[in-house]
Each structure stands twice: as C-alpha cells, then as structure tokens.
Structure 1
Amino acid sequence: MAKLLLVSNRVPWTVACAGGKGVLKPSSGGLATALAGTHARGETLWVGWPGDLGGLDAEARQAILDELQAQRVIPVELSAEEVERYYEGFSNGVLWPLFHYLLDKVRLDTDQDWDAYASVNQRFAEAAAERAEPGDSVWIHDYQLMLVPRYLRELRPDLRIGFFLHIPFPAYEVFRILPWRELLLQGVLASDLVGFHTPGYQAHFVNASRRILGAESREDGLDYDGHHVALGDYAIGIDAEAFSTTAASPSVMARVQEIRQDLGGRTLILGVDRLDYTKGIPQRLLAVERYLELHPEMRDSVLFLQASVPSRERVEAYAQYRKQVDEVTGRINGLYGSPSRVPVHVLHRNIPFEELVALYRAADVMLVTPLRDGMNLVAKEFCATRGDDSGILILSEFAGASADLREAILVNPYDTGAMAEALDTALRMPPGQARARMRALRKRVITHDVHRWAEAFLRDLHAQGPSPHPMAAHEAFLPSLLEDASDTERIALLLDYDGTLVPFTERPEEAVPDPDLLALLERLARIEGNELHLVSGRGKDVLDAWFGGGPFILHAEHGLWRKAGPGSPWTARMDHSPGWKLEAKTVLEGWARNFEGALLEEKDHSIAWHYRQVRRGVSSQTLQAIRDSLRPLAEREGLEVLEGSKVLELRLRGAHKGLAVDEALTTQGTLVVALGDDRTDEDLFRALPPSALSIRVGQGPSRALTRLPDPRAVRRFLEDLAAGLERIPRKALV
C-alpha cells in the first residue's frame, strides 16, 4: 500500500538530554502540531531533525532511535555547526527576513551558510529517498527545505512530490535580491504540486518563476524545464476541536475566573506571539501607548498583556528585539502606570496549552498585528475558544489570515494612529455587533480546520498522478546498456545540446560548453568503437566554434547540415533555396517588436524566434497567431513551423533531426543511444532503429523509451557510461 512521507525541519518530538539520558518531548512548533493529525491517522513516515543527540551515551542514543522508529520518525541528525549555518545562518538569517520584507535584517555575505543549507537539504532528500517505495507520495514543508524537491526528484523520479510554503512568498522585486534565487526556484519547481496560504503568495511565485527562470504560466500552474508543476492556495487551519473543547473544560473555565478576578474589573487586551521581529510587537506597544495618551480616562481600566514566547535566542537580531520590547514596555509603564497598577505586562516564557487557552478565553480584545505573516494561527486559535461568541479580534491586513477572517477589525500595523483608533472602536463596539462578528469568525475557523487543509492538499497531490513515462535514475538502465555494449562492434551516441547537455539560458549565445563538458564528450568519443554525434538546432558557425576541433560528428540546423569530423566540409542533406528568408524575417521582426526581450536567430536555412526573455511570457493564442501569419509563406515555399522550448522556428519541411540517422547507424552490430529534450528530438527518436535506446530529458509527451530529469542527470549518466565502457574488454568493441 502506498504511503505518505512528511518531510520538515522538525518532527513532532524533540529529544531532551539530561545526565547522558534522553527523553522525547512533544515539539511546540506550529507545523509539527498542524501535521500531527495527518501522521496519526494515516500510513505515514516523518523525516526530520529530532534535536541534538550528541549528549547521549551509546545505550541512551539507541533507546531514543528505537523510540523514534516506533513513532514512525526517520531522524536526520545534524551537527551543531550544521544547525548554526543551515538553520540559524541561512534559513533564519537570510530567507526568513527577506520573505517577510525586512530587508535590513537580511545577511547576504553567507556563502558558507548557503553551502550548509544545500548540503543539509541533500541529506533530507537522501533520507526520504531511502525509505520511500514506488508509488509513495512525499510532502515537503517550508522554507528550510526549498532544495529538497529537486534533490529528491534526481534520486527518485518515480515519486509524487508536494511542497508547501508556510511563510509569505515575496514580490519579485524583493525575491530577486537573493544571489541564490535561481537555485531556490528550481528546487521548488521540481515538485508536482506547490501550495501557498494565499492566492497573493502564489501570484508572487509565478511572477518570480517567469521572470527569473522563464517558466511558462498555465491556468493551473507552471511549465519549466519540460516539467509541469501544479500550484494551489490552501489556507491552513488549526485543530479547532481541541481548542474549543479545552476552552469549555471545567479546569480552564475555573482558570478564566481567576484571571478575571486578578484583573479587578479591567478590560484585558491580549497579544500572543513568538518573540520574532516579524510579529510587530514594538509597533503594537506604540499603538497601546497612543491609545492611553488619547484616552487618559482608560488608563486604569485596561491591561495589555503581551505573551512573548522565546524564539531563536542565540540569534543576535532576536536578542536586540527583546531588548527593544522591554525598553518600550518600561517607558509606557513609567508614563501611565501607578504604584498599584501598570497598563502593560509582558510575559516572556513558554505558556502551557491550558493556560494559553484560558488567556484566550479571558481576553476581551485580541491584538494580532504582525508586520508580515504567512498565515498566523494565533488569530484562529483565539476565535476557536470563544464558545459564547464574545471577544473582538484586531488583525493585521498583512497576515495571511486576513483573507479568511474578514469580520475582524483589519489594521495596518505600520499605522500607529490607526491601530489606536481600532482599539477604541473595539472597546466601544456594541455587544450585539461584536457577537455577530465573532460568530461568523468562529464558524469559519471550525469549518476550515487543519484536517480539511491537509486533506485538500493531499487530494490535489494525488490527483497529479504519476508521470505516464516516469523518469528513471540512470542506474536503473545503465547495466543492461553496458551488457548490450559488450556484444556490440560499434556504439553511436546522438546527443542534442540545448536542454540536454546544458540548461537553457536567457540568451542562446550564453550556453557555451564548459571545460568539464568538453572533456567528457571527448573522453566518450575517443573510446575505441565509439562514435559521438552532436545533433543540434544551432547553426554551422556556432557548432564549428564550440566543437569543430573535437572528434565529433556535427549535425547543424536540426540535421540539414552534416560535418563528418575535424577538417571535413559541411554537406547539405537536402536541396534547398533560402530565398524565402527575407519575407519570413520581416514577419517575425514585426512580432518581435511587440514583445520586449524577443529576438531572432538567423541561420543559413532557418529562422528562429526566441521568446525566453519575454518577461510576461507569450500566450498560446499569440503563438497560434504567429503560426497563422507564417502559414501562407510556409505552404508556398514548402516550409514548416516547429515549436521548441520557448522558440518558434521556420525551416524546410523534412529538415529534421531524423536526417542524422543515416543507413550506417541502422546496420547490425551498431548500438545507438540518443538523448534529447523537446519536440525537435522526437523526429530523431522516430528515425532510430528498433534496437536503439532513446532517452527523453525532462517531462512532456515522448516516444522515448526512458527519461532523465535534467542536464545534470545527463552528465552523470554520460560520466558513468564512459567509465563503464572503458572497463569493457577492448576485444568486445572491435
């Protein structure tokens, strides 16, 4: 039976060490809490970091590992340095502030932290790949693991992969600041389904993917590197029943009465947050100060209680933030307090669950005013506890929850005066109006709970289904290929270039082969009995400049031209006349003027219209209109319009890559291996002899026998193929 693997930075249990022994304690993080129900109810494994096991002796360590196994947890153990660099350094020193638009707190001189981030992500992917079975689904969570989908796809392309981002995805102009922007997007885009809390975050992700990577937007997602990625917005909920039931329990209700008595008739305004600079606690305090300034008659009638749960205390920015909160609190109490009462009280400690619920239930007004927040579950927790529909919620419009909780009083947390006015509105609101608002809020929170959120995402993930031609790690087919090679006199490798040996670039001229690639190709070509063909849509001049000095057979303009090796002339494979090019160029230049970034590539006997750099993309309707405008010329001159990866090309009909497969390659005793990534390579695959191995690079419909995910996987395959062929006894190849 197929199972689900959950992958997150932390797991639901944290190891606590004391005296060389260890015990598992429930984790307090919101993500662990949100997914606990899914883990408890299904056939699941959970991959993540359980905390530091370094203080345990051998016996205690094994006992903890056994206990984690019993809880179906796959631990990824991290060293103290890895935690410092991957988690505190890059995840929380770079991604967290940038994704929350706090650019002054972003550290960009963090190459070592980035290396640790990539390394730890690789380890998470390896742990999931090792325990996953064919047909399983993997659900990866949050900003700490944005590279895991790609690493996992390379290791286990047979798996169904989902990714959910629990924090905001920033606008393009903010995200583009990151030096690692391309790699982070590529990591996430290896998923089958990517989820966000709001449509706005999803729109930002689409825009960044299009403008930075040239991904193509579809109605339900993005196409990138031959792979379709579905996108969706899923507003996470809470375990509403747990909060509602606990709030109604006798022990909590008794505690509520105690709190109300301690207040001595004062109105309780409550804030509950992690002590994090995104939560807007100083701005909230300033709003309370402004309210007390404007309404001196209320100074002895209200108490603002801020519960600040310690967070990331080893990070300097957080220590400074706590100091700022304490200083503002001290000033307010100095101005407006009395020997017997202060208007602001700050609790800086962890709060047990029942005590937290009692505070929610006792509060008259809840202030949830983050500067930016992916969702903010505190607002929903407060609503779930209000069984009598009392209480008023003041909520930041920059919290993801504001899209769901529309009956709250929405405020701009940067506008101190407006927040003070919102406080006054809340405290003066007629009870009937307040109850109507809370009734609607509570109903929505209870209906759209965390279980519904998880079910919706997993339903959509399973709907993606496995690829009809699943990509394979080359270790799956390389042994049989080498076995066939040992009985073969000659091996012919037919390799596409762009999208197969190298990734696509914004400008075609930038995809110059690197020294490692040239060395690898030459190594393959010089193995006795090997013949290496480069079959490309590039023009003769480019292929000559890049590969003309190597022991390769070159095929330019999709097979129209052939060069047998260094020093040989180019020969045409078809009769042709380029007289049509001037008219075609005029038509395509007209279209190019309408799309900034579009460019023409003129070859001897074809013209390509590239639109990879068109920032807003080119719609399918526009592409059809371009094809229609070329149709009269194509029909008159015997041409065809071919669509590739972000390119339309007008060429001679019949001038396709299948021309590279001549009679010599179809003779007995020749083993042909062909690799390509797009529609132009399907002509090559179609012309291959039945005994050939065809490999499609990336997704998309194909007649190829197997697949590899991307150019990096192709290079690893070719390296292992070269090593394998070099080990075959030479007599088998002659």
Structure 2
Amino acid sequence: GIPSRLKAFRMFLSRYPRWKEHITLILIAAPSRTQVHTYRELRQEIEQMVGLINGEHGGVGWTPVQYFFRSFGYFELTALYHLADILLVTPFRDGMNLVAKEYMAARRDRAGLVILSETTGAASEFNEALIVNSNDVDGIAEALHRALSMPESERAERAQPIRRRLERYDVGRWAQEYLHQLMHVCTMRDKRWAKKLGESGRESIYAAYHAARFRLLILDYGGTLVRLGDATAPDGELYRILAELAGDGRNDIMIVDGGDRGSMAAWFDKINVDIAAEHGAWVREKGKRWIPLVANLADEWKETIKPILELQTDRTPASYFTESRHALAWHYERCVPELAKVRVSELEEELQGMDERLSMHHYEDTRTIEIRETAISKARVVSHRLSRRHYGFVLAIGNDSSDEDVFAILPEDAYSVRVGDDHTAARFLLDSSQDVRRLLRGLVSMPCSSEL
C-alpha cells in the first residue's frame, strides 16, 4: 500500500498547499525479501515517487517526504511514534498490525491520531481511528486533511478509549483469551464428534424408516444433495436415488430450497416429489401447479435494500448480489476473506433494525447474506405438510440457517441432519453432500457409486 499512500500525500499537497512546510511524511520501509525481483521493482517505484514529490513540492528548507530504507530500533521507533501527530497505515492486506497499537501506547501525552485502511488487522478494534479504503487515493488525501484540521479536543476524545483498551487488554490478557478459545475449540470438536452421524445413528434411522407406514423426507438441495456452488441439475446417481425414494408409495419427498421455481421445476419435473422453491415462497405438490405460500406479498422493502447491496458490491471486489421475486442475496465467496469479514460486519450493522420496520428478515449463510420477506420460510411449508398427515418417520436434511427453522418445528421423534456446520439444533451432523447421498442410498439399499 506504500505507492497508494505516496499518491495520496502528493494529491493532498496539491489540493491543500497551505500545509506545505507545515507537514512532513516520514516513510519507513524496512528491508524485506530484497532478493525477490518484484520487491526490487516496488522499491524502485517507491523511490521514484519520493523523488517526484520532493522535487515537485519541496524547497530549500523543507523536504515533504523523509524516506528511510532500513530497520529502526526500539528506541528510535518509540521516539518517532512520540513525535508523530498522525500514524498513516494503509496496507492492502494485513495480519495483526501491532504498529497502530505501538503508536498509541507510545503517546504518553494521550494524543495522536490513527488513519487505518479497513483491511488492517487493527481496524476492527480501532473504531475511533479514521478508516479509509487503501485503494481510494482521494479518500486517503481527505482523511489526512481531516486529521490535520481536527480540534485537539476531538483528537483526545478519540485517543482516550483506544489507550484505555490497550492498558486493560495487554499481551497477558490476550494470551489468556487465546488459550481459552483454544480450549473452547477442543470442546466444540468433541461435541461435534459426539453428534456426528455414526453407524449406530444410521442403523436407528434405517430401522425407523423401514418400520414406518408413512414417511416424510424433507431435503434441501444446494449444499445438501449437491456441493455448495454446484446447484445445477441432478446428476444421474442423485436422480436415481430420488426417483427410487419417490417411487415408494409410503414416501412423501419434499425438496425445499432457495433456488428459483423455474430451475427447480425443470430439474425435478419427472420425479414424483413436492417442491418448495425460493425458501418456500412458491410450492408445487406433485402433479399440481405452482401456488404462492403467501398471496399479495409486498416487495417495497427491496427498493430500500438494493442500493445498500449495490454499494457493498461496488466496494468489495469479486462480490455480487442476486435478486429473486421475494428475496435479495449478497454473495462474497470469492472475496478476500479479511475484506469480506469487514464488509459483512458493516452490512449486518446496517441491516440490523430494518428487519421489523420493513417486514423482512436477514440472515448469514455460507458466504452469503440473504434478505427476504418475514412471511416466507421453509418452516412454514413444512409445518403445513406435517399438519395434513401423521408420519411415522420424518427425516429433514439441510445445510444452512434457513433449515434450522425447519429443525425447530419437527416432531420430537423426527431425525434432523445438518451438513457442514456444528452450530445447529439438528440431532446429527454430516460433513458433505456425499455423506448425505450415502445415507439416502442406505434407505433404498442402492449399491455405492464408485465416484463416492
């Protein structure tokens, strides 16, 4: 992020010339990977830009950029931290980033202001800092001007809570929490193994299935019957499994998914199953026409939410949003994880409080945030089906939070299975769609596929 930082400083000096001779950028580039050709090119680019800025804006008694290509010792660095009015840290990607914390800890005068890019490790903790996009040269230049023009009282007000957190949350406490979380992970792992569907669980499911007069199977599609991201038409093996299950007159099969009704109808048209598409907004029982779950749904809320998702998409490379008749979804599976985490937090905060006011509901799934009408849910469709007949065997399998609503309304003796995630109300866990197919194949006693 150093070239962007220098471009921003150059823009700042051109836009606000009154700060000339009153500000100096001290740029420290500690040598790293000097044998790598790309790093040598980056150093050359930086030094050319430093020369350009100093030649363009500097004078006999003032050098705008003081550039150091060397490492600084503890005492030198502490002295610089203490002298600097502003710390500017704008990497494109980052880890813990202790520099911001070191700077604030060194400011014994309880002043100092930090400008951080949103991808720095410290950005999530330094809410009082000025947060910028490391790609936004104009935004960094304006943040510099805002920081330099900020009243002392506001600077102190921003610095105080940061220093308080640094004093209370020191390295000892960090280590203690780290060990606590490590033990928590071990505990959760043990719980997951205890809940994972093993041989005895399978035998229990198979025995209950074969003993029941009427059976209901509730199956999610994407991420459950096929791998997440592979939500296309069923392959030959899956088609045979579903067709054989649906061919048994004692079975009712419901495919309940977030997919659009056109695709769902095309994929399952020749199988004797019921379909609930778009998370239950549309329902089609076998041999019948599509009907809406709730008539005359209002979609005015989408006009408020779409601009928010469009902005997040513009600000987050590789993200995108999709729209169905009664839902919107923002997808970030291809995004840089660090940036995605920041954006998800921002979006969750913005949507919070809108749900009740706009009659909508938002939830986070696997690399997706979906917003839809509150009246629409998989659980509502399943509840209606359960009220129409007494089933001696009920099995529900899903992979996301919308399926948790289904698990919550099932009869006590029903079997529920969550794929992938261990934060679930389901009775059992499976790791993948391949494991789901093995389970279903066992119900119909089909031979194993060589692929699986």
TM-score (norm: length of structure 1): 0.34
Instruction: Please tell me the residue identity of whatever aligns with 2:411.
Output: P
Match of 1:708 in 2: 430
The aligned counterpart of 2:221 is 497
* AA at the equivalent of 2:271: G
Q: Is the 8 A contact 2:319 2:332 kept in 1?
A: yes
Question: Any conservation in 1 of the 2:317–2:335 contact (CA below 8 Å)?
Answer: yes
- Once residues 336 and 384 of structure 2 are traced to their aligned partners in structure 1, the CA distance between those partners, rounded to angstroms, is 44
Cα gap change, 1:463/1:565 in structure 2, threshold over 3 Å: closer, same or farther?
Answer: closer
Per the alignment, in what secondary structure is the counterpart of residue 217 of structure 2?
strand
1:719 aligns with 2:450: no
Corresponding residue to 2:372 among 641, 651, 656: 651
For 1:696, what is the secondary structure of its paired residue? strand
Aligned to 2:334: 613
Does the CA contact (< 8 Å) of 1:504 and 1:511 recur in 2? no
Deviation at 1:624, TM superposition (A): 2.6
Structure 2 CA distance for partners of 1:638 and 1:499, relative to 1, 3 Å: same
| Counterpart for residue 326 of structure 1 | none
Residue 483 of structure 1, aligned match among 197, 207, 215: 207
Q: Over residues 345-366 of structure 1, what are the superposed CA-to-partner deviations in whole Å (9 max), with x where a residue is unaligned?
A: xxxxxxxxxxxxxxxxxxxxxx
Residues 209, 443 of structure 2: 8 Å contact kept: no
Report SS of the residue matched to 1:516. Answer: helix
**Aligned with 2:321: secondary structure?**
strand
Please name the residue that 1:451 is paired with: none
* Residues in 2 aligned to 1:628 and 1:695: alpha-carbon distance in whole angstroms: 31
CA contact (8 A) 1:573 1:659 kept: no
Q: Within 1, Cα distance between the matches of 2:208 and 2:333?
A: 40
- Per-residue deviation, 1:619: 4.1
Equivalents in 1 of 2:327, 2:184: separation in Å? 43
Kindly provide the amino acid, as one letter, of the partner of residue 357 in structure 2. R
The answer to whether structure 1 residue 640 and structure 2 residue 346 are counterparts is: no
8 Å contact kept, 2:214–2:391: yes
Q: Deviations over 1:244-272 (max 9, x none)?
A: xxxxxxxxxxxxxxxxxxxxxxxxxxxxx
| 1:385-396 aligned within 5 A | none
Q: 1:486 Cα shift? A: 3.4
Matching residue's letter, 1:468? K
Alignment of 1:674-693 (within 5 A): 674-693=396-415
- Contact 1:474 1:708 survives alignment (8 Å): no
Secondary structure, counterpart of 2:312 in structure 1: helix
User: In 2, are the aligned partners of 1:543 and 1:554 still within 8 Å (CA)?
Assistant: yes
Q: Equivalences for 1:408-427 in 2 at 5 Å?
A: none
Q: Is 1:571–2:295 an aligned residue pair?
A: no
Q: 1:671 is matched with which residue: 380, 383, 393?
A: 393
- Please list the CA deviations of residues 486-525 of structure 1 after superposition, one character each: whole Å capped at 9, or x if unmatched: 33221110011121111112xx7x6442222122111111
1:631 to 1:706, Cα distance in 2 relative to 1, 3 A = closer
CA distance in 1, matches of 2:404, 2:282: 18
Give the whole-Å Cα distance in 1 for the aligned partners of 2:223 and 2:206.
25
CA distance in 2, matches of 1:478, 1:574: 40
Identity over aligned pairs, percent: 26
Pick closer, same or farther for the CA change 1:463–1:550 going to 2, 3 Å: closer
3-state DSSP class of the match of 1:684?
helix
**TM superposition shift of 1:712:** 0.9
| Cα separation, 2, equivalents of 1:461 and 1:642 | 28
Q: Distance in 2 between matches of 1:534 and 1:540?
A: 11
Q: How far apart are 1:662 and its partner, in Å?
A: 3.0
Task: Give the CA deviation at 1:668.
Answer: 3.2
Unpaired segments ≥5 residues, structure 2: 1-94, 96-118, 122-181, 447-452
Q: Which residue in the other structure is 1:467 paired with?
A: 190
How far 1:527 sits from its partner (Å)? 1.6
Residue 580 of structure 1 deviates from its aligned partner by: 2.3
Secondary structure in 2 matching 1:608: strand
SS in 2 for 1:464: helix
Write the letter of the residue equivalent to 2:435: A
Within 1, Cα distance between the matches of 2:380 and 2:277? 11
After TM superposition, the structure 1 stretch with the greater mean CA deviation from structure 2, 659-668 or 547-556, is: 659-668
Q: 1:522 to 1:587 in 2, by over 3 A?
A: same
Give the number of the structure whose alpha-carbon radius of gyration is greater: 1
What are the Cα deviations for residues 309-337 of structure 1, in whole angstroms up to 9, with x where unaligned?
Answer: xxxxxxxxxxxxxxxxxxxxxxxxxxxxx
Spell out, residue by residue over 1:43-99, the C-alpha distance to the aligned partner (whole angstroms, 9 max, x if none): xxxxxxxxxxxxxxxxxxxxxxxxxxxxxxxxxxxxxxxxxxxxxxxxxxxxxxxxx
Residue 628 of structure 1 deviates from its aligned partner by 2.9
Do the aligned residues in 1 keep the contact of 2:216 with 2:391 (CA within 8 Å)? no
CA distance in 2, matches of 1:643, 1:513: 26
1:472: Cα distance to partner?
A: 3.2
Report if aligned partners of 1:607, 1:650 keep a CA contact under 8 Å in 2. yes
1:532 pairs with one of 226, 250, 253? 253
Deviations 1:651-709 (A, max 9, x none): 11142211122344254343110001121110010111112111111232111111111
Distance 2:331 2:269 in 1: 25
Rounded to whole Å, the distance in 2 between the matches of 1:656 and 1:567 is 21
Moved more, 683-692 or 625-634: 625-634
Q: Determine if contact 1:550/1:566 at 8 Å carries over to the other structure.
A: no
TM alignment of 1:337-352, pairs within 5 A: none
Change (3 A) 1:685 1:603: same
Cα separation, 2, equivalents of 1:528 and 1:474: 28
Specify the code of the residue in structure 1 equivalent to 2:436.
V
Distance (whole Å) between structure 2 residues aligned to residue 479 and residue 526 of structure 1: 22
Describe the SS at the equivalent of 1:537: coil
Read off the aligned partner of 1:614 and give its amino acid letter.
C
Residues 721 and 512 (structure 1), Cα distance of their counterparts in 2 relative to 1, 3 Å cut: same
CA deviation map 1:410-460 (0-9, x unaligned): xxxxxxxxxxxxxxxxxxxxxxxxxxxxxxxxxxxxxxxxxxxxxxxxxx7
Query: Which residue in the other structure is 2:277 paired with?
Result: 556
Q: What are the within-5 Å matches in structure 2 for residues 422-461 of structure 1?
A: none
TM-score when normalising by structure 2: 0.54
Structure with bigger RCO (C-alpha 8 Å, 6+ apart): 2
Residue 631 (structure 1) shift: 4.0
What does 1:334-373 correspond to in 2, within 5 Å? none
Structure 2 equivalent of residue 294 of structure 1: none
For residues 601 and 462 of structure 1, what CA distance do their matches in structure 2 show?
A: 36
Query: Aligned pair in 2 of structure 1 residues 654, 615: CA closer, same or farther (>3 Å)?
Result: same
